Amino acid sequence: MSWFNIWRGWVKLEISKLMAYRFNFVLKSIAMLIFGIGGPLIAMIIYNISSGIPGWTFEEFLLINGIFIFIAGLNHLLFESMTWRIIHKVRDGSFDVRLVKPISALIYATITGVELEGLSRTFLGGIIIVYSLVKMGWAFSLINLVSFIFLIFLAMIFMYSIDVITTALSFLVVKSYALMDIFREFTHVGRYPITIYGTTGMMAFTFLFPVGLAAFYPASAILGKIPTITIFYLAAVAFAFFGFSILLWKLAIRKYSSAGG
Amino acid sequence: MTKLLSFSKISFKEALSYKFEVFLWMVAVPVGLAVYYFLWKSIYSYTGQEVIRGFTLSELLSYFVLIEIVAYIVWSNADQRLARKVYTGDLVVPLVRPVKIYFNYLFHRFGRLLFFIPINTTIFAFIGIYFFDMKAASLAHIGLFVLSIFLSIMLVYSFVFLLGISAFWLKDFTGLHLIKQGIIWLVGGGLAPLVFFPKLAQQILALLPFQYMLYAPAQIFLGNFTMTEIYQVLAIQVIWTVLLCVFIHFAWKKAMLKFSGVGA
């Protein structure tokens, strides 16, 4: 069975679950919107009571927030549930079942990470992005748009790597869901322009823990604020981070003891 | 009372086994505070004002530390616990006990707090005092802050318990649980002090119970309320709690008619 078939089967299952608990799906989607709306709300508050963030207008700041919500939503939609599913399975020892399947445990976890509740947040992020671009009178530029789409792809690689690192650590720290909260807090560093963290912070959040990819760099790309060469550096960083996450997964899975309950 | 205290004792013992979880939480929360620090430092220095809507930078950061402390203390998962028992049908067990389930879960929470409050408060107080020069307006304000937190525990718990009763009618409770968390954080003062919100929003929020859950205790500590306002806040916290308890009373009666004891 190809990966795509498994993925399709999983999505079908998710849709049937959604149909069985339609009202709960609506409630969860509303909850995701409430969590998402915090970004634009804080933007409005900041620009209402102060001069805002140096170097960023209200619309640009909103754009960064919109991109962050969009990326977080897309990650929720496609991959994020693999983290809590695996943490749960490691905790009760049922991860063994995954290991005996004729497919890599990581690939299986990835393609069964779809959770449709992420749709509402992705949609909200998309609306905020379009709204802020229209509001600022963004002049169409093909090169900026292509750079933006490519950086969104890199952002997804970064978010996926975070999911892989979280699940990998669950093999080492068996008893904890708090890992998810820790990494969520760390990724939230990227929901504001990383220029606020000073030069050292910017370097760290670009090369060491590239959370700038989650919103700042895609926003800078569509606004034409970064040179093309930087995008190549960012691609190298994103793929290196991805490589690190896979390596960590491979090392950590050896520690899985199958003892749970 | 002895019966109720036994729930607290068990809960305290359970909490002891979550030491590592607590440690991980303590790593996560300062990251969020650091983000607030850099964000608002940049805003204050760019705006060129020392005070924004009555808050200096140091007071604002202290406010966020206090919100973390209060949120950690008043947080309750009674709704989830109740919902789980309803779905599994296990609710029949606490129902036959000689203690009302409302008090059963409440005292269970008190047991957890005996474990969490010393750790949580020490760490956050250290962060607040050492990094952000956090200080209470006076000793009396600390006392009123503690009283307000206690009332906030009761208010949040009653609100959460009432929501949990909806599990008797809903097939899955997780959606409502998430909405509750989002709303309390967003309009309860977790995002920013409510005085930063537009006037109309403040007037609407004053009619709802959420600002008395996180925002009001933090503002009392910082001395941003006059004594009259503080007494008003405490009275409103009590009124909302009593009102919610009345709702709980009637909703519970309806729920018991619905409950069959059958679960999965």
Cβ atoms within 10 Å, residue B254: 12
In a domain, B230, yes or no: yes
Output the pLDDT for position A108. Answer: 86
Interface residue A17 vs chain B (CB under 8 A): no
Chain-chain contact of B52 with A186 (C-beta, under 8 angstroms): no
Cβ atoms within 10 Å, residue B118: 10
Q: How far apart are CA B90 and CA B25, in angstroms?
A: 30
In a domain, A230, yes or no: yes
Output the pLDDT for position B231. Answer: 96
B181 is written with which tokens? Answer: 């968390």
Compare CB distances from A181 to B20, B28, B42 and report the shortest one's residue.
Answer: B28
Q: What is the mean pLDDT of chain A?
A: 89
Output the pLDDT for position B250. Answer: 95
| Residue B248: HSE in the Cβ half-sphere, 13 Å Cα cutoff | 22
Q: Average pLDDT in the A108-112 region?
A: 86
Interface residue A25 vs chain B (CB under 8 A): yes
In a domain, A258, yes or no: no
Model confidence at A175: pLDDT above 70 = no
Output the pLDDT for position B30. Answer: 83
Chain-chain contact of A34 with B183 (C-beta, under 8 angstroms): yes
In a domain, A193, yes or no: yes
Q: How far apart are CA A85 and CA A108, in angstroms?
A: 12
Least CA distance to B17: which residue of chain A?
Answer: A175
Residue pairs spanning A and B at CB distance below 8 A: 116
Three-state DSSP at B52 gives strand
Query: Which amino acid does the sequence have at A13?
Result: L
The Cα of B23 is separated from the nearest Cα of chain A by a number of Å equal to: 9
Model confidence at A260: pLDDT above 60 = no
- A18: enclosing H helix or E strand: helix A3-20
pLDDT interval class at A147 (50, 70, 90)? very high
| Total tally of structural domains belonging to chain A | 1
In a domain, B207, yes or no: yes
Identify the domain containing residue A213 by its residue range: 3-253
DSSP sequence for B140-207: HHHHHHHHHHHHHHHHHHHHHHHHHHGGGT-S--HHHHHHHHHHHHHHTTSSS-GGGS-HHHHHHHTT
Question: Could you tell me if A213 and A238 are in contact, meaning their C-beta atoms sit under 8 angstroms apart?
Answer: yes
Output the pLDDT for position A89. Answer: 82
- B56: enclosing H helix or E strand: strand B55-56
Q: How far apart are CA B108 and CA B118, in angstroms?
A: 17
Q: Average pLDDT in the B131-140 region?
A: 90
pLDDT interval class at B16 (50, 70, 90)? low
Rg over CA atoms, chain B = 20
**Furthest-apart CA pair in chain A: how many Å?**
58
Interface residue A173 vs chain B (CB under 8 A): yes
In a domain, B123, yes or no: yes
Q: How far apart are CA B72 and CA A181, in angstroms?
A: 14
| Total tally of structural domains belonging to chain B | 1
In a domain, A31, yes or no: yes
The string of pLDDT tens digits covering residues A31-42 is: 888 888 888 999
Compare CB distances from A182 to B28, B171, B197 and report the shortest one's residue.
Answer: B28
Lowest-confidence region among A24-33, A189-198, B212-221: A24-33
DSSP sequence for A103-172: S-HHHHHHHT---TTHHHHHHHHHHHHHHHHHHTTPPP-HHHHHHHHHHHHHHHHHHHHHHHHHHHHHHH
Question: Could you tell me if A210 and A234 are in contact, meaning their C-beta atoms sit under 8 angstroms apart?
Answer: yes
Q: How far apart are CA B101 and CA B8, in angstroms?
A: 13
Chain-chain contact of B35 with A45 (C-beta, under 8 angstroms): no
Give whole-number Cα distances, B42 to A20, A130, A197, B189, in Å. Answer: 48, 27, 9, 21
In a domain, A222, yes or no: yes
Chain-chain contact of B196 with A53 (C-beta, under 8 angstroms): no
In a domain, A260, yes or no: no
Chain-chain contact of B186 with A51 (C-beta, under 8 angstroms): no
Question: Could you tell me if A187 and A68 are in contact, meaning their C-beta atoms sit under 8 angstroms apart?
Answer: no
pLDDT interval class at B17 (50, 70, 90)? low
* Bridge partners (DSSP) listed for residue A53: A56
Give, as one character, the DSSP assignment of residue A192.
S
- Bigger pLDDT: B235 vs A1: B235
Interface residue A57 vs chain B (CB under 8 A): no
Q: How far apart are CA A176 and CA A84, in angstroms?
A: 10
Chain-chain contact of B42 with A50 (C-beta, under 8 angstroms): no
In a domain, B169, yes or no: yes
The Cα of B185 is separated from the nearest Cα of chain A by a number of Å equal to: 9
Model confidence at B64: pLDDT above 90 = yes
Chain-chain contact of A188 with B32 (C-beta, under 8 angstroms): yes
The Cα of A143 is separated from the nearest Cα of chain B by a number of Å equal to: 31
In a domain, B263, yes or no: no
Interface residue A79 vs chain B (CB under 8 A): no
Interface of B with A (CB under 8 A): 20-21, 24-25, 27-29, 31-32, 35, 38-39, 41-44, 46-49, 52-53, 170-176, 178-179, 181-183, 185-186, 191-192, 196-198
Interface residue A45 vs chain B (CB under 8 A): yes
pLDDT interval class at A26 (50, 70, 90)? confident
Identify the domain containing residue B52 by its residue range: 2-258
Q: Virtual CA dihedral for B121, B124, B130, B131, nearest 10 degrees?
A: -160
The string of pLDDT tens digits covering residues B201-222 is: 999 999 999 999 999 999 999 9
Q: Which residues contact B166 (CB under 8 A, 6 or more apart)?
A: B173, B176
